[in-house]
C-alpha cells in the first residue's frame, strides 16, 4: 500500500473548539488549528484579539475554558497546568515571569525533567552564552533580554518538545532580538515544535512556516509562509488599525 506522504508532518498539537472566558467575558469563541511536529506556527493579530489567551488556555492557565487540546493524541484539555507541563508543553509567558528570588541556576533547575529530551546546562549555555556568566545571580538582577533568554532556556531544560512562546521580542533591543531569533532558529533546526505569538511581523515571518491570524477570538485566516511580500499583504488586514 501507499505510505502516507512524507512531506506532511504528523500533528504534534491539535486544538479544536477552544473557548475561553475571563470571568463573564468570553475571549475565545471556538478556535481550531493544528501545529505539525517540528513546525513553527505564528499567531498574529491585534491587541486583544486573543492570541495570548490561546496560549494561556492551552497551558491551562485560563480559569475557565473548554475544548480539546491534543498533544500527540492525548487530550490535555481537562488537566491541571502542572500536568500539562509534564505532558511536554513548555510555556514562556509574555511577562517572562523569571523567579526574581531564585538564582539563574535555580531558575534553570526548577522545571520537572521530562525524560530523554532534557537539554543539558552546557547545551543551554551554548545557545544563550550570556546566561553562563550570570548563573549565580538572582533572577531579579538580570536585564530584560537576559530574562527572556532565561525564560526560554528554562523550558528547554525541562525537556519539553512543544514550545509556547508569548512575544519573546517584546521590549527588547534589536541586537537582543537577533540573538533570540538565532536561538529559535537553532531550536527549529533541532526539530522543536513551536507555537509563537508575535507582534513583530518581520521577526515572525523570518521564523514561521505558517501564520495564523486571530481576530475577535476566532481564527481569521491562515497561510503558509511562502513569498514574504504576499504574506505580509495578506495579513495586514488583521494587523492594521
Partner 1 sequence: MDLLLSYLTIGLVNGSFYAMLCLGLALIFGLLNILNMAHGVFYMMGAFVAWAAVTRLGIGYLPALGAAALGIGAFGMLVERLLLRRTYDLDPLYGFMLTFGMATAIQGAFQVEFGSTGLPFETPDWLSGLIDLGFTLFPAYRLWVVFVALAVCLGLWAVIDRTKAGATLRAASENGVIASALGVRIPVVMTATFGIGAMLAGLAGALAAPIYQVSPLMGSDILLVVFAIIVIGGMGSIGGTILAAYCLALIESVTLAVYPQATNFMTFAFMCIVLSIRPQGLFGIPVLRDHSFAGLSLPAVSDVGAERLSQMTRIAVITIIIMALAILPKLLYPIFLIKIFCFAILATSFNFLLGFAGIISFGQAALYGTAAYVTAYALKQWSAPPEVGILAGVAAATLLGLVMGALAIRRRGIYQAMITLAVAQMVYFVFVQASFTHGEDGLQNVPRGVLFGLIDLRNDLSVYALTAIAFCAVFFGLRRLLCSQLGMMFVAVRDDERRALSLGHDAALLKLLAFGIASCCSGFAGALSAVAFQLATLSGAHWHLSGEAVLMSLIGGIGTLTGPLAGAAVLVAMEHFLSPFGAWVLVLQGSIFMICVLAFRDGLVPRVASIWTKVVRDRLLPSFVAAEPVKEVGNS
- The footprint of partner 1 (CB under 8 A) covers 59-61, 80-82, 84-86, 91, 93, 97, 99-102, 106-107, 109-112, 114, 154-155, 158
Residues in the chain: 241
Residue (105 or 218) nearer to partner 1, CB: 105
The 10 Å CB-count burial string (b at 16+, else e) for 1-33 is eeeeeeeeeebbbbbeebbbbeeeeebbeebeb
**What's the CA gap between 178 and 183, in Å, rounded?**
9
Least spacing, CB of residue 120 vs partner 1, in Å: 16
DSSP 5: P
> Which residue shows C-alpha cell 467575558?
25
- Would you say 95 or 182 has its CB closer to partner 1? 95
C-alpha separations of 189 from 5, 81, 183 in Å: 21, 28, 10
SS3 assignment, position 104: helix
- Considering the complex, state which of residue 165 and residue 235 has its C-beta at the smaller distance from partner 1: 165
Cβ-based nearer residue to partner 1, 154 or 188: 154
- Residue 207: which of 163, 144, 141 has the closest Cα? 163
- Please tell me the distance from the alpha carbon of residue 208 to that of residue 40, in angstroms, as a whole number: 5
> What minimum distance in Å lies between the beta carbon of 67 and partner 1?
19
Whether 18 and 36 have beta carbons less than 8 Å apart is answered as no
**CB of 102 vs partner 1, minimal distance in Å:** 6
Residue closer to partner 1, measured from CB, 102 or 218: 102
Residue 158 Cβ, how far from partner 1 at the closest point, in Å?
A: 6
Q: Which is nearer to partner 1, 107 or 231 (CB)?
A: 107
Grid coordinates representing 95? 511577562
Closest approach, Cβ 110 to partner 1, in A, equals: 5
Amino acid at each position: 500500500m501507499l505510505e502516507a506522504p512524507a512531506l506532511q508532518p504528523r500533528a504534534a498539537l491539535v486544538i479544536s473548539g477552544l473557548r475561553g472566558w475571563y470571568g463573564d467575558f468570553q475571549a475565545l469563541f471556538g478556535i481550531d488549528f493544528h501545529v505539525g511536529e517540528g513546525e513553527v506556527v505564528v499567531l498574529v493579530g491585534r491587541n486583544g484579539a486573543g492570541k495570548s489567551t490561546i496560549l494561556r488556555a492551552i497551558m491551562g492557565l485560563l480559569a475557565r475554558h473548554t475544548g480539546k487540546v491534543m498533544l500527540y493524541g492525548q487530550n490535555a484539555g481537562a488537566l491541571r497546568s502542572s500536568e500539562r507541563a509534564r505532558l511536554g508543553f513548555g510555556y514562556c509567558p509574555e511577562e517572562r515571569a523569571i523567579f526574581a528570588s531564585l538564582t539563574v541556576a535555580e531558575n534553570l533547575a526548577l522545571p520537572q525533567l521530562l525524560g530523554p529530551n532534557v537539554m543539558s546546562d552546557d547545551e543551554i549555555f551554548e545557545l544563550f552564552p550570556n546566561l553562563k556568566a550570570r548563573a549565580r545571580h538572582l533572577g531579579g538582577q538580570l536585564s530584560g533580554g537576559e530574562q527572556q533568554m532565561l525564560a526560554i532556556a528554562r523550558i528547554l531544560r525541562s525537556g519539553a518538545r512543544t514550545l509556547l512562546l508569548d512575544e519573546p521580542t517584546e521590549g527588547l533591543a534589536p541586537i537582543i532580538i537577533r540573538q533570540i531569533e538565532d536561538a529559535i532558529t537553532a531550536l527549529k533546526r533541532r526539530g522543536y515544535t513551536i507555537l509563537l505569538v508575535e507582534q513583530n511581523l518581520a521577526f515572525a515571518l523570518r521564523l514561521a512556516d505558517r501564520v495564523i491570524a486571530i481576530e475577535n477570538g476566532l481564527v481569521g485566516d491562515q497561510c503558509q509562509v511562502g513569498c514574504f511580500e504576499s504574506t505580509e499583504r495578506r495579513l495586514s488586514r488583521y494587523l492594521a488599525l
